[in-house]
Structure 1
């Protein structure tokens, strides 16, 4: 029995993921996505009623994988919760060393849509960042850190700054510096 390949919807999302991430939202046309997916534009619009819907769906496909990689880096690190949080920043730095790394897809998309705060992709991006913050809050609560939600927010702000500076300077050493800062922020709360 012949195995089925990816569905048309999945092929569209795979094409959109590559083009949106590497070329940008505004620079990528629906025609280019349809061509890369090997379908007609009409078929694309059958599955995604608008480009805005497709952009939001693109970010949705990145949500869980990104959160899972942060959790993997955290869980793989031996040591205190401060060391584990630092490991997330180290992992981001290692990712930034790859020649195909183009920054945080959520941050880049929201930046392109900054004049459209109600855009569905902006909402997906905001939810993703909030999930990361909530996950950190749980980890800090489990570690007995006082004010876990505040510390999680500090780390999220540091992470967003790290993504921005890495994209600007293309120097992964900034992620290493952020790892040190993250460790210090969390350690300071552990000794209270």
Structure 2
């Protein structure tokens, strides 16, 4: 699967930022379909005309919400990866450490991309490439990290790490059991130890 083509972004004015900040909070807390433009405009302190002048549609606000969250996550993760230069194993586990910290601070309801995909599954929706692209990027990241550990089995190992990571995020959002990301990290560490012992 190729990396999904990312949409054009909106130029942010002060009013547009207020709209987006309100929309981000409301979409994440209540769901995308449950939040209308009237509520977003009211929460942002702008008129509906201003909202439409800046974004054109609710769909474009959704795109900006998801793209902005994705950008912040990638920057957040980069700090953890940069700090874990010692070994390939440390870099893999740093992804789980970053996700655990992110989930504690910004992700009480789970992964915004997974949540959005539950509401937006139509590939023709303008936000779909953001959702798909984020997960494709994560798979490529895990596969690249796996290649430094098990060059001959990188694709399989990358997919397994991705499944551990994404499953943990879903379990976190559902509050199925305590600290699922830490549990997934432990399982990833055990898997990596097994892989390296066989090498």
| Aligned-residue offset at 1:91 | 3.5
The equivalent position to 1:135 in structure 2, one of 136, 141, 149, is 141
Give the root-mean-square deviation of aligned CA atoms.
2.5
Q: Give 1:117 deviation, angstroms.
A: 3.9
Identify which of 112, 115, 120 aligns with 1:105: 112
- Segment drifting more, 152-161 vs 131-140: 131-140
Tell me which of 74, 80, 95 is aligned to 1:67.
74
Query: TM-score normalised to the size of structure 1?
Result: 0.83
Change (3 A) 1:81 1:142: closer
CA contact (8 A) 1:56 1:120 kept: yes
Q: Which residue of 2 aligns with 1:7?
A: 14
1:145-156 correspondence runs (5 A): 145-156=151-162
Any conservation in 2 of the 1:25–1:112 contact (CA below 8 Å)?
yes
Deviations 1:29-56 (A, max 9, x none): 1111112222111111112222122111
Please name the residue that 1:46 is paired with.
53
**Aligned partners of 2:29, 2:125: CA distance in 1, in Å?**
21
TM-score of the two chains, using structure 2 as the length reference: 0.80
Unaligned runs of 5+ in 2: 1-11
Q: Deviations over 1:42-79 (max 9, x none)?
A: 11111222212211121011112112222322333475
Q: CA deviation at 1:120?
A: 2.0
